[in-house]
Structure 1
């Protein structure tokens, strides 16, 4: 237990220091990128500070993998350089056994990072974005035009010229209703439609119904009216980014896309990424254990270089697999999780040939 305590007494301060440093760098980069916009729009200093404060959780989330990789890599390399591990290995304790508490710590931190993102990062980053857009006078309209929406698994198609979000009103509306076997049932044309409680009320609606090869024209039937329950939010100009909402909201959004028959591969891969990305903490610690001790010179420089290289390699790999998932070359699950599986294998191989 003394050895474990000694190990964590060296790792934790370095981890916290690196976390603050890398987090501060990310905050300053964002501030520098938006500073001229803040100045030109006359945003008060306190408002800018509040916006930057709301960005801190996101920066800490980004910085955590690099910080823990640096802390573990530097600590182990320093122990090698000072010959402290020689005594540990001579006493019969292997590198794997010595660093096992760090791996357990990183595995637990991976779960903590997921919940930190879901409960803290997502809401604070949403507030930061909203307040920054408000301060920079970037108004976002929820009105939409040239809309095509699929509902009831593609059995109902809404086509509208314009959606007014304030009035909850569709204009220039066409509805194509199909049977369960996807054959055409009827077409409805309406001048407009207004949302009332739980369904759309049509104005100037005419229904063209096909039955037994003949087409009849008449008023919109009550049965058809009862099926027009697609909520107004579906028609808004507010495509949700799965990365900017919590996992529960993301799941509901993806279920809506599946129900509407819309493409969902990219959002689903981003949803899986929410669960896969936090395990980068476990991976980088695993890697740093295997990479440590490669040199006794320039320990800090080599540790910093190795942690940045490993992080960049992981991010690039995940970017490529996410693109492949987006275009359907691989499944959304593999798009998010393949880099994790691949780097676990790489870390295992590196550890196998590490100095002990």
Structure 2
């Protein structure tokens, strides 16, 4: 336990300091890139401060992988340069056994990073972008015109003249119902449709239903309110902005992907990004494993070598992840492989490095 405490006392303060440093740098870079526009638009320092405050969770999320790689790599390399590791090895303690608490810590941090992003980063970053766009006078509306949404694998088709985000309403809505073979069943028209948050379906107003008679002519009949229970396509789908899976929570991303799946639309790219939400946090485990495998490669310029190795490893992982995600987007590999293959490959590489490391 003394060895565990000794190692963590070396790594954790460096990790915390590195997180704060990298997060501060990212926040200042974002500030200076937009400062001139802020001042030209007469933005108050209070609003600018709120933007920076809401950006802090995102910068921490960016900083954690690089910070843990730097702190673990520097600490272990410094211990090797000071002959501390050699003393451990001579007493029969292997490198893997000595560093296993750090690996366990990195796994916990990986799960924590996912929960942190899903529970806080997504929400605060959205607030940051909305306020920043206001200050920069970049106005966007989620209202939408001439919306067509295909649901239930083509069995239900919505066509609305306009969607209002503030009231969650559809204006001049037509809904086509079809059977399993895509044969026409009925057409429903409503002057207005409102989303029911409790029942999770659309409520229609001033409604008429049209069906075909035996001669193939359209006739109207009384609308059956029970049909509303089939109109479960969530209001988010009708917004103007295309859902960016990277910028929403895992739950919201799954709703969007389920919509694409039900509508029979391509969803491979979105599914890859969804899997990436779970795979990417494991970069924390990967970089710690890499830093352990790289221990003992040099005794000189430990700080410089640690910085160079952490930057190189991070860039290499990011590039590989980008490449595999592009392959998944174009269907060359599965969405699961696009998100998880870099994690698997880097884990294997770390095991090989650890096997041939000096112990």
TM-score (norm: length of structure 1): 0.90
SS of aligned partner of 1:306: helix
Indicate whether 1:269 and 2:272 are aligned. yes
Q: Is the 8 A contact 1:200 1:225 kept in 2?
A: no
Q: Which runs of 5+ in 2 are unaligned?
A: 197-201
Render the CA deviation track for 1:176-224: whole Å, top value 9, x for unaligned: 4321222334556x6x731156333467x6846276xx42122255259
Rate the CA distance shift 1:118–1:231 in 2: closer, same or farther, 3 A.
closer
Q: How many residues are treated as equivalent by the alignment?
A: 350
Q: How far off is 1:175 after superposition? A: 4.4
**TM-superposition CA deviations, 1:244-273 (whole Å, max 9, x none):** 222222223322332333332222222221
**Worse-matched range after superposition: 126-135 or 216-225:** 216-225
1:30 aligns with 2:30: yes
Equivalent residue, structure 2, for 1:260: 263
**Distance of aligned partners of 1:8 and 1:208 in 2 relative to their CA distance in 1, 3 Å threshold:** same
Partner of 2:287: 284
Corresponding residue number in structure 1 for 2:349: 346
Structure 1 contact 199–226 (Cα < 8 Å) conserved: no
CA contact (8 A) 1:150 1:260 kept: yes
Are 2:297 and 1:299 equivalent residues in the alignment? no
Equivalent residues in 2 for 1:184-223, closer than 5 Å:
184-186=184-186, 193-196=191-194, 198-201=202-205, 207=210, 209=212, 214-219=215-220, 222-223=223-224
Helix, strand or coil at the partner of 2:30: helix
1:327 aligns with 2:330: yes
What's 2:136 paired with?
A: 136
Contact 2:144-2:240 at 8 Å conserved across structures:
yes
- Over the aligned positions, Cα root-mean-square deviation in angstroms equals 2.4
CA contact (8 A) 1:77 1:295 kept: yes
In the alignment, which residue of structure 2 is the partner of 1:318?
A: 321
What is residue 170 of structure 1 aligned with on the other side?
171
Q: Is the 8 A contact 2:237 2:256 kept in 1?
A: no
Aligned equivalent of 1:47: 47
Aligned to 2:39, the other structure's residue is in SS state: helix
Residues 10-48 of structure 1: per-residue CA shift (max 9 Å, x gap) = 111111111111111111111122112211211111211
- Cα deviation 1:223-245 (Å, max 9, x = unaligned): 59935734544322132222222
Greater mean deviation of Cα atoms: 41-50 or 299-308: 41-50
Determine if the alignment matches structure 1 residue 183 to structure 2 residue 186. no
Per-residue CA distance 1:145-177 (angstroms, 9 max, x = gap): 342210233112223454455673434x65443
CA drift at 1:302: 0.7
Q: Secondary structure at the match of 1:219?
A: strand
- Where do 1:89-128 residues align within 5 Å? 89-128=89-128
